[in-house]
Each structure stands twice: as C-alpha cells, then as structure tokens.
A and B are shown apart, each in its own frame.
Chain A
Amino acid sequence: MSGESAGDGYEILSIDDLERLPTTQGSQLLLPLRRTVGFRPFGVNVWVGAQPGDHVIERHREQDGHEELYVVLRGTAQFTLGDDTFEAAPGTLVHAPPGTLREATALTAETTVLALGAKSGEAFTPSAWEDFYVAYAYARRGEPERGRAAMQAALDREPTAWQGSYNAACFEALVGETDAALEHLRRAVERDRAAVLQYAPEDTDLDSIREDPRFSEILETR
C-alpha cells in the first residue's frame, strides 16, 4: 500500500492506492478498503466494474440481515433495486434494506462504487466472504501463501462454520494442494454434510480433487 503513513492514530490514502483484487465475475474488482485500513465498526469496501457490462455489485439480497448503502464514486452504474432499474451517476446514494434484491452493472469503464453495510442491532464482525474473496483473488494471481493467510483468518474467526472449511477446501484444490483440500473437505462434511452435498458435486473449484478416491469417500461418510 502506498498510502501516506501518518502515525498510529490515523492514516491517509487514496482509493487508487488500494489493491485491485479480481473476482470471478468478468473484470469486476474488489478494492478491500475495510481490511486495508483495519476499520472495525462496519463493512466498507470499494467495487469496480473495469469494463462496461461488468458487474460492480453482484446480484444478491443480503439474506443475513445486513442493510447497505452504495455511493457511486466514478462512472455510471445501472442499478437494480427491488423492482426498480435506474442509472446512477457519481454522487448517487442507493439504500438497500435487508432482503431487497440489488445489483449494479457498469455502463462506463472503471465504474466505482463504495459499499457500506452492517446489521442493525448487532456489533459488527467482518464477513467471512471478505476473506474468501481475497483468498481466491490471491490464488488466481499466483500468490497462494497470501491467499492462505486470508483463508486462515476466516477459519480462526469462525472455527466451527462449515463454510470456512468448505472454502478452504476449494482454495487448496485451486492451488493444487490435494491433501490439504481433502482434509478441509472432510472437516466441512463433519460440520454440515447436507450443506456440503448441496455444493460439492457441481463445484468446479473442486475439480482438481474430484477424481481422487478420497473425494467420494469423504462425501459418502455418514
């Protein structure tokens, strides 16, 4: 990070200093503001659709009760919010209550949206997806060690969640660590077999370990 270090108590940086982490959707990028500065009160990240037509915000509903506010910083985005679709220029604020369908697509190159989110009435804890996104992005960039560190952070925070072990399995499968991937998969099955069976059979992230005899053995474990 090339931000200006201003001592322990505060920090100055530009959106342009943030890492640009590729996601699986076209040339959508995550600029992980929250984890870069270590902001703790709620979720704050920057999303970029590098090319017109890219997702800036993927289609989702925040089923876990987060409310969100999006602020268009650069470019023009086509937003869907519930049943409404509209164009949003810089300076547009879009509020999405929990459960409302939301999505944004870039209409211009480098469309940039700031996303804030948290669940009202609860102390914020960083969402595990943030670590997963970052881990996969590093894996795709050929930096497995950095990716593994992000994955480990999610595992440490929620050591008993099946999602952590499952995503760790996918991550290790992607970077070719078969033994580690199978070990994580085994743990995910121990935690929630039904959930794993919903995803694992079709998940291309696991393709590199699918032919290993241990794979079906683990999924068949009761």
Chain B
Amino acid sequence: MSVARIDELERIELPDGFVWRPIRRRFDIRGFGVNAYSALGPGSPIVEKHTESQLRHEEIYLVLRGRALFTVDGNDHELTAGQLVFVRDPSLERSAVAVDEDTVVLALGGKPGSPHEVSAWEAMFAAVPAANREDWDEAIRIHDEALAERPDHPALLYNLACMEARGGRHVDALLHLQRAVALESKWAEYARRDSDFAGIRGEPGFP
C-alpha cells in the first residue's frame, strides 16, 4: 500500500524513551532516508541525542505537529509545526524533547555524494518490540533480513549474536560474535560486559 497517515505508522518505543515511527521501512524506500519520531509525552525525548560522525549524514528535522525543544551544538531552539532545523555538520550533537502532547517530528537524512544505503540501525530498532517480548525468532529474522543486504556489518552481526544467545542458539551466536569481532575488534570489549552473552561466556572461542 502506497499511502499511510502518520498515525497509522508503527510505534516502536526505544530503550532511550523516544518513539520511532518508521516511514522508509513502511514503504521500502530505497532512494533516501526518512522517518518520523514521537514521544511518550511532553518532556520526553523525541530525537535521540547523537551525532552523524560515523554515517556522515546531513539531516533535516521538520516539526509536523506540536512543538519540540531541539538542542543542537549546545544551543536550545524551540520549534513549532512548520519549522525545521537543517544540520549540515555531521559532528554536531543534536537531540530534541517534545514540548506538546502529540508532537511529531519528520527526520530526513543521507550522505552527500553517495547512493543511499539503508542504515543498519533501522533493523536494530525494528527488532526491539520482538526482543522485548522475547520473540527471538522474529528478532533474528529482522537481523537476517538486514544482513542479507549488508553481510559484513559488524554492529548488525553483534546484535544478531545477542538475539541468538538469548534465544538459545549458542553456536550461531558464537560464530556471529566472532565474525563481528574479526571485522571490528571493539566488539570483543562490549561482549565481555554484555549480559546478553551470559549463557555463552564460558564457551571456548568466546572473544
């Protein structure tokens, strides 16, 4: 289906308290990055505090409904419906908190000069509801789907290993964790402290 109302989009509550309303995924858009965010209520986060230093995305946040208090590079700006912030510099820290009930922010992002690549965080966010209800098969399926397109993405492999470890697929978990660490060694350090791996930490080959 090619038409949807903002209110019909999935509401995925993320651990940091904001609510992701997937648009790109909803329509399987391949050419560009577009999503919406809402909040649990006034005063709650609506845009995660982050930089785009890794992905190098330029971003536009447009308030569709209500008001949001944005903090960009340490400066506060309260934006109302129809106002937007364009963050050109990927290294600037940005975040926002909802001011009104029912605030919705549209987020656009992409890397200049490159064909659009679906961001790996989308699959990780999309798997959160399944993980919350301990439906590990579904959480693993969502990661597998993303990995089919990005087979060597260390964070996706690491997250997949977490889901597999929790779901009792210990051999798969170990293999995917090893692969993540081989691609990017920092994941070994994370794995040592990650409670998801409690069940496989004693296994031979655990990084």
Structural contact, B82 and A14, CB atoms closer than 8 A: yes
Interface size on A, residues (CB 8 A): 51
User: Given the complex, which residues of B lie within 8 Å of A97, measured CB to CB?
Assistant: 2
Q: Which of B132-164 contact A (CB under 8 A)?
A: none
Whether B77 lies near A6 (C-beta < 8 A) is yes
Partner pick for A91 among B65, B83, B84, B116, CB 8 A cutoff: B65
Number of residues in B with C-beta < 8 Å to the partner?
Answer: 48
Residue numbers in B under 8 Å from A38 (CB-CB) = 88
- CB closest chain-A residue, reference B60: A39
Chain A residue numbers with a CB within 8 Å of B26 are 93
Tell me if A's interface is mostly helix, strand, loop or mixed: strand
The yes or no answer to B188 lying at the interface (CB within 8 A) is no
B72 on the A face (CB < 8 A): yes
Asked if A13 and B73 make an inter-chain contact with CB atoms under 8 angstroms apart, the answer reads no
What's the least CB distance linking B52 to chain A, in Å?
Answer: 11
Among residues of A, the one whose C-beta sits closest to the C-beta of B114 is: A123
Interface string of A35-78 (1 = CB under 8 A from B): 00111111010000000000000000000001101010110000
Known contacts A116-B32, A120-B115, A123-B115; A88/B3 CB under 8 A: yes
Residues of chain B with a CB closer than 8 A to A16's CB: 82
B1-18 interface bits toward A, Cβ cutoff 8 Å, 1 = contact, 0 = none: 011111100000000000
* Cα-based distance from A15 to B85 in the complex (angstroms): 11
Residue of B nearest to A102 (CB): B2
Q: Are A10 and B88 in contact (CB under 8 A)?
A: yes
Q: Return the 7 tightest CB-CB contacts between A and B, nearest first.
A: A41-B110, A9-B89, A120-B30, A40-B112, A118-B31, A95-B27, A42-B32
Q: Which residues in B have some Cβ–Cβ distance to A below 8 Å?
A: 2-7, 23, 26-27, 29-34, 57-58, 60, 62, 64-65, 72-73, 75, 77, 79, 82-89, 91-92, 94, 104, 106, 108-116
**Chain A contact residues, CB within 8 Å of chain B:** 4, 6-16, 37-42, 44, 66-67, 69, 71, 73-74, 79, 81-82, 84, 86, 88-97, 100, 114, 116-124
Q: What are 23 inter-chain pairs, A to B, with CB distance below 8 A?
A: A6-B75, A10-B73, A10-B87, A12-B77, A13-B83, A15-B82, A15-B83, A15-B84, A41-B112, A42-B31, A42-B116, A67-B29, A90-B64, A92-B3, A93-B3, A97-B2, A116-B32, A117-B31, A120-B30, A120-B31, A120-B115, A122-B115, A124-B112
